[in-house]
Amino acid sequence: MKTTRTQRDGRWLGAYVIAYLVFLYLPVLLIPLFSFNNSIQAAFPLQGLTLQWYATLFGNSALTSALLNSLVIGVIAATGATLCGITVSYMDLYGRSPLAVTISGIARLPILIPGVIVGISLLILINLIGLGPSRVAIVLGHILVALPTTVVIMRSRFAAIPKTIREAALDLGASDWTTFRRVMLPLSLPAIVSAFMLAFLISFDEFIVVFFLAGTEPTLPLYIWSQLRFPKSLPTVMALGTSILAVSFVIAAAAEILRHRGLAAAAPAVPLQPKQTKRGELQWHST
């Protein structure tokens, strides 16, 4: 009776998970489907397959300008967020200071704050310091938004490295800076690359912060939003969205693979244990 009830609960749970995934991802999967539809309307039945909407992406000066802005801002913001994430997470683990723990907690707060609040707050701040909506303001905003991700990734990476490695370097006479630069950073390289790639994706896809901080040079998400006002541009927008989805998926998958490889490389070696043979001899084997 108990087994039957468990199986029934498992089926309900499986059905719930399937329904959740369909509700969450089916609209996303419809975008690539309609991007090949030979019609300006996103509706069934499909009128035919075509690549003309992808062809319209080439030679569009406004689209090219927005793409270049997103790439430049994404690289700069990802670099800044990664450097800050490395520093904050390392000091949180090895700084042994209440201030370092406090800064680490504050650095992860933006992930809990609604994007609209962050955008309005940053707009007020940049106006007070005289920057105004500009590319520099967007970079600063994207560093703030991407920082929690880099802190979480780098903190887990530093925590996975056996503390004995750092202690051995210090015992051999290396300073804290030398240990950090010559030991900890090389061991954390996969996580650094992973954090950079994910921070770049966050910056590249960010819309709410850009909406408040953009000046005369819009990024790609802002360009897509502006094109949604024109019904005839919808197929081109879906073709562009499909391209972004594909690139984002590849970058996110590569970042996750790098992160897992780094964690696997940091796993401590399995100790060898002696095993006695029938003759009474000892042989070493891993446990």
- Please report the pLDDT score of residue 253 as a whole number: 86
Across-strand partners of 273? 285
More confidently predicted of 5 and 186: 186
Task: Tell me 231's DSSP state.
Answer: G
- pLDDT computed for residue 1 by the predictor: 54
Report pLDDT digits (tens) over 218-233.
888 898 888 888 877 8
> What distance in Å separates the CA atoms of residue 108 and residue 252, rounded to the nearest whole number?
20
Residue with tokens 């967007």: 138
∠ CA 151-154-155, rounded to 5°: 75
* Helices and strands, counts by H and E, the chain: 13, 2
- Which residues is 284 bridged to in the sheet? 274
CA nearest 216: which of 91, 93, 66, 84?
66
pLDDT, tens digit, for every residue of 88-140? 999 888 877 788 778 888 888 888 888 888 888 888 988 888 888 888 889 99
**pLDDT, tens digit (0-9, with 9 covering 90-100), for 141-198:** 999 999 999 999 998 889 888 888 888 888 888 888 888 888 888 888 888 999 999 9
pLDDT score recorded for residue 142:
92
> What domains, with CATH codes, occur in the chain?
7-50 (no CATH), 53-272 (1.10.3720.10)
The arithmetic mean of pLDDT across residues 263-273, rounded, is 52
Q: Could you tell me how many residues make up the chain?
A: 287
CB neighbours (10 Å) of residue 170? 14
Structure tokens at 126: 């940049």
Residues 170/179, Cβ–Cβ less than 8 Å: yes
| pTM tops 0.85 | no
